[in-house]
Structure 1
Amino acid sequence: MKGLLLKDAYQMWCYTRWIILVSIAMMLMGMFFMKDGSNFFMLYGGLLLGMSPISLLTYDQGSRFSVCSAALPVTKEQLVGGKYLIGLCGMALAELLSMAALAAAQLLWGTVSVQITVATLIQVAMLTLLDNIILLPLFYRFGYEKAKYVYYLSIGMLGSFMGYFVSSGDSALDSILPANGSLLVLVVVLAVVLAMYALSWRLSVAWYGKAEQ
């Protein structure tokens, strides 16, 4: 398992490190836009970091690594689980970058309330994991060529979702995250998302290898 994670780490450094760099740039831009209360660029940075497992899986399928992996002393649970661990690491990195950007924005502008902080962290976590929850099982079941269309559609839908909340202003945030009980909402939403993430992993394990049959 450690070897699989090292392989993915090397691949990320060689091929997808631009995702991390662009995400950091988005978070920095988000820090300045928080002067007007807009967290769009922070959400976009989280969305980019959520693409890492799918990008790595695309490289694996393009290089036929799944064929070579049959000779390795690892189970399909470990092969699939490595990508899901990368997704959780992406979420953790997105949350840390978001918290740093929010703290800097509060020091600069003084416009970051507790409600905005909690709402932003919830939305970043959801956007970082949502792509993987939906798309990783489809990639394992149908392969990249068929699943990529769902991938493009999901990116468009998430972009529209983010654009709606940016254009709607604070009222949209208030409708999904009341000022009272925000910590409870955070715990419940994270629990639901993580449960969906675990179910997605089990589905990916069940569908592993189906795309090649």
Structure 2
Amino acid sequence: MKGLLLKDWYQVRTSMKAMCLTVAFVLVIWVFSTSNAYVFPVSYAAVFLGILPINLLAYDHASGWTEYSFALPLSKELQVAEKYLIGLFCAAAAVVIGGLFITVISLRTGTTPDKDVLSLLAGSVCAILLINGIMLPLYYRFGAEKARMLYMLMFAGMGAALGGGAVMDELQQNGTGSGPLPVPLWLAAVLLLAVLVLYALSWRLSVQWYGKYKK
């Protein structure tokens, strides 16, 4: 497992540095802006973190790693679990980055974060796990090329949702709208638990489909 994680870490450093820097740039620019809204930048960072495991799997397919892995003393369960573990790492990173970002915005503006912050962070985790829970099995079964269309549709949908969140942020800041509807913490917790269950089932499906994308 450590070797697999190290392999993907090298891949992130070499091939996905620009994407990570773009997310950092957006967050830094937002901190120095006059806006005290935070739904859009937090969700933006979560979406880009969420697609890391999918991109890593696409690189594995393109480089021939999947075929090469059959010659290694590594089980399918372990190799698939590594990608899903990266998804969990990305979800944890989204919570940490989002929490720090909201704290910085609050200190800069002298305001107190509202009670919906925890629901927002829980929503970020759910979004990341859902993206990977849906797309990873499709990538394992059909490969990057065949799954790309659905991937683009999902990414476009997430972009539209982020755009709507930015508009609602602006309306809430200007006092011309009620802002996003608050989500009770108990409901956010139930949704998060349901997504975790689906994530585990997705892993089992990916194990069954491992290596079948060329068949």
Report the TM-score when normalising by structure 1: 0.89
Task: Give 1:34 shift.
Answer: 8.3
More deviation in 105-114 or 128-137?
105-114
More deviation in 155-164 or 65-74?
155-164
Report whether the alignment pairs 1:56 with 2:56.
yes
Instruction: Work out which structure has the larger RCO, using CA pairs closer than 8 Å and 6 or more positions apart in sequence.
Output: 2
Query: Which residues of 2 match residues 1-213 of structure 1 at below 5 A?
Result: 1-32=1-32, 35-169=35-169, 171=178, 173-174=180-181, 177=183, 182-213=184-215
Residues 126 and 195 in structure 2, CA contact (< 8 A), matched pair in contact too: yes
Q: Deviations over 1:99-154 (max 9, x none)?
A: 10111111111344332312321232123222211111100011111001111110
Task: Give 1:206 shift.
Answer: 1.3
Q: Which amino acid is the alignment partner of residue 185 of structure 1?
A: L
Query: Kindly, what percent of the aligned residue pairs are identical?
Result: 38
Residues 37 and 112 in structure 1, CA contact (< 8 A), matched pair in contact too: no
Q: Deviations over 1:164-199 (max 9, x none)?
A: 23324554522x51xxxx332332222122112111
Task: Give 1:75 shift.
Answer: 0.6
Task: Find the aligned partners of 2:110 and 2:116 in 1 and give their Cα distance.
Answer: 12
Task: Find the aligned partners of 1:200 and 1:163 in 2 and give their Cα distance.
Answer: 28
Task: Find the aligned partners of 1:25 and 1:152 in 2 and give their Cα distance.
Answer: 23
Number of aligned residue pairs: give it: 208
Task: Find the aligned partners of 2:33 and 2:115 in 1 and give their Cα distance.
Answer: 17
Task: Find the aligned partners of 2:82 and 2:12 in 1 and give their Cα distance.
Answer: 13
Q: Which amino acid is the alignment partner of residue 73 of structure 1?
A: P
**Structure 1: runs of 5+ lacking an equivalent:** none
Report the TM-score when normalising by structure 2: 0.88
Task: Find the aligned partners of 2:214 and 2:112 in 1 and give their Cα distance.
Answer: 49
Task: Find the aligned partners of 1:84 and 1:50 in 2 and give their Cα distance.
Answer: 11
Residues 137 and 203 in structure 1, CA contact (< 8 A), matched pair in contact too: yes
When residues 87 and 146 of structure 1 are mapped into structure 2, their CA distance, relative to the original with a 3 A threshold, is: same
Cα root mean square deviation, aligned: 2.0
Task: Find the aligned partners of 1:149 and 1:47 in 2 and give their Cα distance.
Answer: 17
Task: Find the aligned partners of 1:23 and 1:64 in 2 and give their Cα distance.
Answer: 29
Task: Find the aligned partners of 1:154 and 1:142 in 2 and give their Cα distance.
Answer: 16
DSSP 3-state at the match of 2:68? helix
Residues 119 and 173 in structure 1, CA contact (< 8 A), matched pair in contact too: no
Task: Find the aligned partners of 1:203 and 1:82 in 2 and give their Cα distance.
Answer: 14
Give 4+ residue runs of structure 1 displaced > 4 Å after superposition. Answer: none
Residues 123 and 188 in structure 2, CA contact (< 8 A), matched pair in contact too: no
More deviation in 146-155 or 106-115?
106-115
When residues 102 and 152 of structure 1 are mapped into structure 2, their CA distance, relative to the original with a 3 A threshold, is: same
**Structure 2: runs of 5+ lacking an equivalent:** 173-177
Q: Which amino acid is the alignment partner of residue 173 of structure 1?
A: P
Task: Find the aligned partners of 2:205 and 2:179 in 1 and give their Cα distance.
Answer: 33
Q: Which amino acid is the alignment partner of residue 206 of structure 2?
A: S
More deviation in 116-125 or 90-99?
116-125
Task: Give 1:202 shift.
Answer: 1.1
When residues 185 and 30 of structure 1 are mapped into structure 2, their CA distance, relative to the original with a 3 A threshold, is: farther
